[in-house]
Amino acid sequence: MHKGNKDKEAAVGPVVGAGWQKFATFLTHAGRQQPDKRGSFVNMPVERGSTVVFPTVEDMGAQGGHAYEHQLVYGAMGNPVQHRLEQVIAALEGGSHTQVVNSGLAACTVALLAFLKGGDHLLLPDSVYGPTRRFALGTLARFGVETSFYPPRADEATLRAHIRPNTAVIFAESPGSHTFEVQDIPMIARLAHGAGARVLLDNTWGIGAFQPFTSGVDVSIQALTKYPSGHADVILGSITVQRQEHWQALRRTAIELGACGAPDDCWLTLRGLKTMAVRLSQQARSAYELALWLESRPEVAHVRHPALPGCPGHEIWKRDFTDASGLFGVELDVGITQEAMIAMLDGLHLFSIGASWGGYESLVLPTSGGLTRHHKDGLPKGAAFRIQVGLENVADLKADLTRGLDGLKR
């Protein structure tokens, strides 16, 4: 191997991908069955059910009082696989309790409903996941919650100016899943707590690489739909907290809303988690390699990948995250039209066009043209798209993108 290659590998190796390995042992063992003398399967069984039956009325009454402790009461309040998954996610994120719900979006909405009431003010980052934004401006507005938007990379003074006396929740999502702004979560938490507000974080991109509770986050949300289930066949979400008072508020709301996770989806997610460290190491490494290479292409103006030294927010990422995942943004030269980019994306062979991410397969999605922003400065100047890097051989992915970029009409 000649020297140039070796240097490049040295740059890719230790920077991105290795951090996920620290979860490998935990994830391989978490949530397994304990063997007994008669033998047992490694994986727990799926138990499907609505009714939970008891020998006596008294037994049923005794169990009903434990709805907050995740015991079996009724199917809508949880099932054994859901409860096992909740223990694993809580441990992964360093929380005390997790509530699993039927989608990542439901995780955002249930968490917001648990910590807001009529008359409160909610601060959303302008980069927030679109459906979370719509929920705030739709349902929450109907119930008397005011929402305003802060620039995701606001400095302390700017954020302070957005806080109102009735601000009850500052929501964060870092990095944004279309525009990849890394947020200064410890600073946001300090200001929020000083103002008596709580911090809710959509931690889907960071999974275990951003430890929410050491940074002052009160509630951490994940779309388990993404890397944890990992195979593009599950919709599921989680909400994790660390303090008992937050758990009481969250659990009460989840029970009132009938929020839970279907046993089969929870089981598939538990299975997905077993291989998450190895999948993510590979996907993160490939994504970083593609991001570095794309930066050198003349058609590309910016690559939005927090692990790249030139990316805005890189210093915060380096301070707060142990690794990166495999989703990043590409902004093309301003001379390239939206139509030309779309023709290029349509012509790729190995990248499907699709909205989700975190599965085994590579995807692309346009991120220019349709984004809603209050503060316009966050929008890409040229045609832009995001890449979810799958488990394909990275050389094949690079060849496919090379063909696409070479054919771009300027």
Footprint on this chain of ligand PLP (rule: CB under 6 A)? 103-105, 108, 129, 173, 177, 202, 204, 223, 225, 235, 237
- Write down the least CB distance from residue 182 to ligand PLP, Å: 14
Nearest residue relative to ligand PLP (C-beta): 104
CA distance 24 to 114: 33
Residue 232's φ and ψ, nearest 5 degrees, are: 60, 30
- Write down the least CB distance from residue 299 to ligand PLP, Å: 26
Nearer to ligand PLP, 261 or 380 (CB): 261
Assign 229 to helix, strand or coil: coil
Decide: 13 and 288 in contact? Cβ < 8 Å: no
Q: Which two tokens stand for residue 176?
A: 């944004």
Decide: 296 and 261 in contact? Cβ < 8 Å: no
Nearer to ligand PLP, 30 or 365 (CB): 365
Nearer to ligand PLP, 95 or 404 (CB): 95
Q: Which residues contact residue 88 at a Cβ distance below 8 angstroms, ignoring those fewer than 6 apart?
A: 30, 31, 270, 273
**Which residue in 116, 166, 173, 170 sits closest to 140, CA to CA?**
116
- Write down the least CB distance from residue 131 to ligand PLP, Å: 7
- Write down the least CB distance from residue 212 to ligand PLP, Å: 14
Nearer to ligand PLP, 202 or 218 (CB): 202
Nearer to ligand PLP, 15 or 283 (CB): 283
- Write down the least CB distance from residue 235 to ligand PLP, Å: 5
- Write down the least CB distance from residue 309 to ligand PLP, Å: 24
Nearer to ligand PLP, 99 or 382 (CB): 99
Nearer to ligand PLP, 147 or 225 (CB): 225
Nearer to ligand PLP, 108 or 341 (CB): 108
- Write down the least CB distance from residue 28 to ligand PLP, Å: 24
Nearer to ligand PLP, 215 or 269 (CB): 269
Decide: 287 and 328 in contact? Cβ < 8 Å: yes
- Write down the least CB distance from residue 133 to ligand PLP, Å: 11
Paired residues of 386 in beta bridges: 329, 365
* 239: DSSP letter: E
How many other CB atoms are found less than 10 A from the CB of residue 215? 21
**Which residue in 231, 270, 221 sits closest to 109, CA to CA?**
221
Assign 141 to helix, strand or coil: helix
How many other CB atoms are found less than 10 A from the CB of residue 16? 27
CA distance 41 to 28: 15
Q: Which two tokens stand for residue 159?
A: 């954020």
**Which residue in 108, 52, 61 sits closest to 80, CA to CA?**
52
- b/e sequence 285-298, b meaning 16+ C-beta within 10 Å: bbbbbbbbbbbebe
- Write down the least CB distance from residue 355 to ligand PLP, Å: 8
